[in-house]
Structure 1
Amino acid sequence: MSHLSEHVDSLENKISKLLNRYTILEQEKSNLEMEITVLKDERSKFQLENDKLNETCNSLKLANSMLGSDQHKRDTKLKINALVREIDQCISQLSE
């Protein structure tokens, strides 16, 4: 009988340890799920910020190309003059 009692006590001990471990793992899982949610929110914010910065960068590139940098200033002036001549030709054709 004592042998059976020892087995029961051993099983109770193991079950208790398993339940304790289960509780700890459930808490860790809950913590990790919260961390995942926080990280997803942060990722969304960074993605929005990245999109805004890309849009700003593209706008600045466009503005820089329109204004012309020192290297391309002469080319930009020539392009503008060519566009003005084309506009003048269109206006003269419309007025005829």
Structure 2
Amino acid sequence: MEGLQEQLKRITAKLQQVVQSYHLLQKEHDQLSREVVTLRDKEKARLIRIDELEMKMTALQTVTGQLNDGEKKEVEKRINRYIREIDRCIALLSE
């Protein structure tokens, strides 16, 4: 009978360790999840900033006439894409 109680105590102790480890891992997971969200937000903000700077650079090159033929075609495509998107938004607002 005493051997059974000892086994039960060891199992209980191990179970408590597992539960404690689980709680620690859960806290770490929550913290890492928050960090992932923060880093994704920062990445999104930086990508937006990069796009803005690229547009400014292209606009400056366009104004100063420093674009080659390939860049001019790319600017035209981008402008046409913006126009289509604006037209789509106007159509949605008109509904």
Shorter-normalised TM range: 0.5 to 0.7
Aligned counterparts of 1:25 and 1:50: Cα–Cα separation in 2 = 36
Aligned counterparts of 1:63 and 1:42: Cα–Cα separation in 2 = 31
| Runs of 4+, deviation exceeding 4 Å | none
Aligned counterparts of 1:38 and 1:47: Cα–Cα separation in 2 = 14
**AA in 2 matched with 1:12:** T
Report how far residue 47 of structure 1 moved: 1.0
2:38 counterpart residue number:
38
1:2 counterpart residue number:
2
TM-score by length of 2: 0.66
List gaps (5 residues or longer) in structure 2: 67-95
2:68 equivalent to 1:64: no
Report how far residue 12 of structure 1 moved: 0.5
Bigger relative contact order (CA 8 A; separation at least 6) = 2
Question: Larger C-alpha radius of gyration, 1 or 2?
Answer: 1
- Number of equivalent positions: 66
Report how far residue 2 of structure 1 moved: 1.0
**AA in 2 matched with 1:58:** T
Aligned counterparts of 1:40 and 1:28: Cα–Cα separation in 2 = 18
**AA in 1 matched with 2:27:** Q
Written as runs of structure 1 = structure 2, the 5 A alignment for 1:16-31 is 16-31=16-31
Question: Among the aligned pairs, what percent are the same residue?
Answer: 21
Report how far residue 60 of structure 1 moved: 1.2
Report how far residue 44 of structure 1 moved: 1.1
List gaps (5 residues or longer) in structure 1: 67-96
